[in-house]
Chains A and B, each alone.
Chain A
């Protein structure tokens, strides 16, 4: 049964919009429950190194201070991204992976622990420390293993990525208001530059990854691919290379066309198979073009987790305490997480994968027209975790004002995301996911707050209802 274009594309879009929505919903719930009017304790983070906003500063002071904070933050993020690109270029993948695993563990255990304790206090759940410690350590360990090291259920990996995004976003909502908004706008601008400009770090990272046919080392959410055809069962144990008809998830460079014989043994032989078996690629109407896997790559590929790492090491919840010098030193190493498929570990985990490499784009051009929307480049849209985080920060900050702004910002962000996905289908290269959504979100927030809110509240208080 042929699947229509709408079914394929709709599935892809839902696969990305759902986790973004879930992450935003969780952050709004947390903010609404725990800090409905902003954080009372000032959290010393790297984003507030220069200016610590006080409630009774003047408008100009707050704006200037927020701007300085944002510029410093963006500079540090840029530095960290360049360090990551350098490490990736010189193939220090092991060290990157270990560090990222450690940082993810810290995010899940420490930030997760703090959020859990706050929730326990809020709901007065009588749980004892032993049970709590066991649960937390298990949760964090399995999270790190799921995202970086082991094969785990896909739904679990996706769930843990959403949870990591939620925790970091919740942490960011503790920043003061002006700093948050200016920071969001600054990150959107940085995103455009980093991904689209030729010298931008993320552009270089993507090109390196494509040239080497490896995975980008970062926390990336990858939606489950929409399977075009079902395979009846696993191959028998004796055959060592995986036969062509298998489709893998996430970096297991799935042959996106299970119907065509694409062996695991190497790209060239697979191409020959393709050419000789059919003469022409007839059955590729339902198959995505053989272009390298690119999806939307947010600018926070590196920095989000990098920020988390920095935040972990230097932010303290205790009010007023500043970070110690020793802590600050270790935060400059990028907290970039490796994708689950690093070439070295992929070979270790699964020797069958080593031959699987994605084809070059020489065949991509001819059948791209057949595909229609090209969203099915790899059958799975990828979104960097930083995008999750900054969308959720925007919505969380909107939740601190009123739920009306939450709805407006949510719609704006989802609209922006949809527009970015369409652009992705048109341009077929790595795109920044932040700018459109953040711009729309910020505009909608201020319009709602300044214009819509007084209007609706006045109407409601005068008992005129819509």
Chain B
């Protein structure tokens, strides 16, 4: 019994050490030891957040995706976390807006837009202006 207990804890210890996923607040990025950390991570999170306002909303999504372990654990590094949480909110907001617009366009069709629908759809524009 004692031996088993020791073995299982040793087992778990080995498992924890060789666990590739980022348990706890160990590595801030999903790449783990291959990603950024410490000051570089803070700088990157900040630049992603502010860069998203330059008409690149996908950077907000990238912030959430790259620093996913920071989002998961509430006690993770606060410096990184504040930027990532802000990116998450702006990303959600933007994607709701964009998805809503795209779905309205796709399913609304001519009913809502009238003749403008023909002007906006990609394949019509391509037929008009693209190569023959």
In the complex, which residues of chain B have a beta carbon less than 8 angstroms from the beta carbon of A227? 20, 33-34
Contact present for A128 and B122 (CB under 8 Å): yes
List residues 226-280 of chain A with CB under 8 A from any CB of chain B.
Answer: 227, 229-237, 246-249
Contact among A117, A139, A225 for B130, CB-based, below 8 A: A117
Does any Cβ of A come within 8 Å of B14's Cβ? yes
Contact among A151, A156, A231 for B44, CB-based, below 8 A: A151
Contact among A121, A130, A132, A153 for B66, CB-based, below 8 A: A153
B102 → A minimal CB distance (Å): 5
The 0/1 profile, CB within 8 Å of B marked 1, for residues 118-156 of chain A is 001100111111111010011101100000001111101
Contact present for A137 and B121 (CB under 8 Å): no
Contact among B40, B56, B109 for A350, CB-based, below 8 A: B40
A141 → B minimal CB distance (Å): 6
Instruction: Look across to chain B and name the residue whose beta carbon is closest to the beta carbon of A250.
Output: B34
List residues 40-72 of chain B with CB under 8 A from any CB of chain A.
Answer: 40, 44, 47, 55-59, 62, 65-66
Does any Cβ of B come within 8 Å of A174's Cβ? no
Contact present for B34 and A248 (CB under 8 Å): yes
Once A1-B18, A230-B19 are accepted as A-B contacts, the answer to whether A317 and B102 lie under 8 Å apart by CB is: no
In the complex, which residues of chain A have a beta carbon less than 8 angstroms from the beta carbon of B125? 129
The 0/1 profile, CB within 8 Å of A marked 1, for residues 99-111 of chain B is 0011001100100
B71 → A minimal CB distance (Å): 14
Contact present for B33 and A246 (CB under 8 Å): yes
Contact present for B122 and A132 (CB under 8 Å): yes
Once A132-B122, A248-B34 are accepted as A-B contacts, the answer to whether A126 and B27 lie under 8 Å apart by CB is: no
Once A124-B123, A126-B121 are accepted as A-B contacts, the answer to whether A154 and B17 lie under 8 Å apart by CB is: no
| A116 to B64 alpha-carbon distance, docked (Å) | 26
Contact among A131, A141, A150, A248 for B105, CB-based, below 8 A: A131
In the complex, which residues of chain B have a beta carbon less than 8 angstroms from the beta carbon of A124? 123
Does any Cβ of A come within 8 Å of B38's Cβ? yes
B122 → A minimal CB distance (Å): 5
Contact present for B122 and A138 (CB under 8 Å): no
In the complex, which residues of chain A have a beta carbon less than 8 angstroms from the beta carbon of B44? 150-151
Contact present for B123 and A120 (CB under 8 Å): yes
Contact present for A126 and B33 (CB under 8 Å): no
Residue picked from A139, A224, A230, A248, most chain B C-beta under 10 Å: A230
A225 → B minimal CB distance (Å): 8
Instruction: Look across to chain A and name the residue whose beta carbon is closest to the beta carbon of B26.
Output: A233
| A293 to B18 alpha-carbon distance, docked (Å) | 26
B64 → A minimal CB distance (Å): 11
Q: Write the residues of chain B forming the contact surface with A, with a CB cutoff of 8 angstroms.
A: 14, 17-20, 24-31, 33-40, 44, 47, 55-59, 62, 65-66, 98, 101-102, 105-106, 109, 120-123, 125-126, 130-132
Closest 6 CB pairs of A and B: A234-B37, A233-B26, A249-B34, A138-B58, A128-B120, A126-B106
Q: Write the residues of chain A forming the contact surface with B, with a CB cutoff of 8 angstroms.
A: 1, 41, 117, 120-121, 124-132, 134, 137-139, 141-142, 150-154, 156, 224-225, 227, 229-237, 246-249, 317-319, 349-350, 352
